[in-house]
Each structure stands twice: as C-alpha cells, then as structure tokens.
Amino acid sequence: MAVSLIVALLKLASAWNSFEQASLDACPCARPSLCLPLLTTATFEVFAFSPSKGDNWKYYDYTTLTTIAWNMDKGLLCHAHERGVKIVTLHNFDAADQLCNMTARQEWITQTYRDIVRNYADGVNIDTESAVTTREEAQCLTLLVQELREELQRNAFTRHAQVSRAVITFDVAWSPGGVDQRYYDYAGLAKATDYLFVMAVFCMLFAHYDMRSQLYDHCLAGANSPIAQIKRGIDDYIIGANVPPHQLILGLPWYAYEYPCAHYDSATDLCSITKQALQVPFRGAPCSDAAGVQRDYRDAVGSMTTRRWDNMTATPYFQRTVMRGGASVTVQTWYDDPESLGRKFALAGTLGGVGMWHVDSLDYSGKDAPTNETLAMWTTLKRAVPSSAIVALD
C-alpha cells in the first residue's frame, strides 16, 4: 500500500463516527483496508449488475469490470476490492407520492447511508422506476438525490468514497421521453449523481421495432435493444435533456426474451401476440414485454435452433416449437450475442461507460475455464473498453 494512502487512512480513522467505527471493527476481509471504499477512479466505467445468489462472482472478469452492483456477498466484497473493483448497494425510493415528504426523504437517505456503511460499499445504485407524472414530483426526486449527496459528504466513510466516483448511479429508461411515464428531471438528476445508467433494454415503442416495456401498435415479438433506438435514446439524453455524455453509461441486455406466438407467419418471420390472454398492458400501453418470459443468456443459447438475424435492429433471434398445456406452441426468442453487442457497444465511444443486465446470465459452470459462449461475451465487453479505463490513485 502506498505511503500516501496509509497516511490518508490514518487521518480518516480519527474522523469515523461510532456507527462507521463499529462497522469497520467487524470487517470480514483479511485486510481491514479492503472494507474501505476504493481510492481508484475509472475514466470509463464497466458496470455489472449481479442480482443472483451463489458464487458466480468468483469467475467474473475483474480485469474488465470497474463496478459491481446489488450483490452484497461479503466474499465478493473482499475479492472485488482486492482487485480494484467497486461494490455498490441497491436502494430504491418507490413511493412517488412521498417524494415531496421531507420526513420520508430523510428516512430514506439515512437508511441509504447506513446500507453503504454496513456493507462496506463504495456507493449506491438507485433503480427507482416509479411513474412520475407531475413537475413537482420530478423536482422532489431530484431534490432527494441532491440531499443524499449532501448526507454522504457529511460523513467520513462516504465522503472518502467520493474520490472514486460512481458513488451515486441512477438507472433510467432507454430514452428521457416519458418512457413508462417516467417524466424525470434528467438534467437535474445528472448534476446530482455521478452517472445515469441508461437501460437500453426492453425497448419497444411503435410498430415492430422499438424498445419493449410499452407497445402501442401491433403486439409482436421483437428485439430487446434495437440499435437505431439505442442511438436515438443516447441523442435524446445528450441533445434533448442536456445530460453530458460522460455521465451516461450504456447498459445492454445479456439475456433473452421468449414470446409465445398466437400466430406465426413463416413468410415474414413475424410472431404475433394478438390473443387477449397473451397481451399484457403496462402504464397506458396496450401491450408490453411482460407478454414474454425473460431467460438467461445461457439457457437461450442452450435451446437455440437455427439462429436468424434481423438487420434492422442488429439482433439475432430464433423460434422453436414447444409443448404447453398439451398443445404445440411456437415461441420466438430474441436475444443479444457477441455480434450484436459489439455493434451496439460501439455507440458508447463518447460516453462514460458501458454495462449490462445482468452478469449472472452467463454460464459459469466451467469456473476458471469458461465455456466458449461465456468467454466470447466477456471478450466483447472488454473490446468496448478503452485501454486506459482505470487509473489508480496513490
């Protein structure tokens, strides 16, 4: 450990409050310094969501990742910090009707701070996806994040974490244009956070191809992350919502969606979800991706028949016949693989980073000898990252 870092830690030790000190005294890592927020910064974030239990984290590519979100396994914490990778907790504020309640905000802020400290985390990822349909609520959402920043700066442990950035990340839809009725103050949120994580997934909006949380025209199976829509969403944030590009992280899908076809047209390859029982409305839209089933990448690849390619969306898909309820049903599966992801990650060249939902979707059964499919996905991610992505601070 560099001498300057040791000196900095000694100075901080005298500043811990009693809650922070008690948490640090219970550090589960072999070296107490591994329970402190990292003093590293990334010029380009590689952000992975790890929502699953188990030990998949042992086999992630830590030479590529900069931040892992949501997984509070203490073994992962020690392992990641030893390799210079940040850990961020999850804490949402989902009661939109309480956003302008100062007491509710303060309670949430206090709990967020305590979650960071008790988990020895480097920050928090806010995945609030609530509908916000009034200007007042949007302003109060921004105020919530501003007040959180102030609270984190007031306390030694979380003030220490400010060095590394990615302390506060906020997940947003593929476009700022009111997707899922999320009429947020995106410029204000960008100023209050370190990054906005753009979920360029579930991206169906009009007709056949667009992003898929809301479908307003024909209810058809389609790409999770169409390339033209990704570019449009990025432009909407930068040009329309005045978010600096270096504060955007482009998140792409490492999963598949499988749709049951009420009618399959072999001439056009269109899978129509037209029966009322198969349509799932969402926030005013008559149909949504909930008509399908999300499947892990490893499972989709394992059941793949003939791989097909959609040029318009730069996305692979396949269909197969399965037995359900004693009847033969055609299902169509859309997913992203190294070819499609390579094209889409290329759109992030001027942004602050890339990421995926989610890292546990791959096959880690090979452990330290990854399967070809898993290795190819990690290689594609690595190629999206500039060589000077991580700069250590002594």
Burial of 216 (0-12, 13-18, 19+ CB in 10 A): middle
> Closest Cα to residue 80, out of 47, 113, 111?
47
Burial of 304 (0-12, 13-18, 19+ CB in 10 A): middle
3-state secondary structure of 15: coil
199 DSSP assignment: E
Torsion of CA 356, 221, 286, 128, to 10 degrees: -10
For the chain, the distance separating the N- and C-terminal CA atoms, rounded to the nearest angstrom, is: 8
d(CA 205, CA 264): 21
Phi, psi of 134 (to 5 degrees): -125, 150
Is 150 annotated as catalytic?
Answer: no
Q: Would you state the structure tokens that stand for residue 14, as one six-digit string?
A: 């005298």
d(CA 312, CA 14): 59
Catalytic residue among 20, 82, 129, 137: 129
3-state secondary structure of 78: helix
Which active-site residues does the annotation give?
129
